Amino acid sequence: MANLLFYLFSAIVLGTAVLVVASKNAVNSAMFFLISLMGTACLFVLLEAYLLAVLLVLVYAGAVVALFLFIVMLLDMQGGERKPFSRATIVASVIAAALLGVGVMSFLKHGQIASPVLEANTPAVGAVLKLYAAQLFTTYLLPVQVVGFLLLIAMLGVIVLSKRFEGLEDIK
């Protein structure tokens, strides 16, 4: 049953990731991105990484996708006609697809990755929430605050860019 769920959620993630890139409408792309993130969270649950699943849903699905949707709706972006792909883009796509194919074939040929040997009584890194929180609020406090500050600046920038100034018509 676990294998079936893994394949189902993997297909959902891959399908919606392709639709994120292929969709012409930005709102539809954001919704496909949301579904892709939810599928990834389900994969984390299958791996029994519940904290990562909850954080993915809260931070990315709850905050980043919502912020992206607000930006798209505030700026009232309309999808225009796409330019044809340049020769460099096509060559880079073919090279990337070939490298992906080589990686998949290599993985299929050599089999699964060997699992590490774990000690019997040692919890996995990040498995105990108290130790994770201690690391987060001591060692990694500055990066967390920097990311929060950058998100605040991005939000203020969106507000300023989306505001329509009424007095500018008279200046021109």
pLDDT tens for residues 114-153?
Answer: 666 666 666 665 566 777 778 778 888 888 888 888 888 8
Do the domain assignments include residue 37? Answer: yes
> How many domains in the chain?
2
Tokens read off for 154: 């991005």
Q: pTM for the whole thing?
A: 0.56
Q: Domain span at residue 41? A: 1-78
Contact, 144 vs 136, CB < 8 A? yes
Tokens 């607000």 -> residue: 70
Determine contact, residues 43/6, Cβ cutoff 8 Å.
yes
DSSP 121: S
Q: Is residue 139 assigned to a domain?
A: yes
Site of tokens 């299929």: 108
**pLDDT tens digits, residue range 17-52?**
999 988 888 788 888 999 999 999 999 999 888 888
pLDDT digits (tens, 9 = 90+) for 54-70: 888 888 888 778 877 77
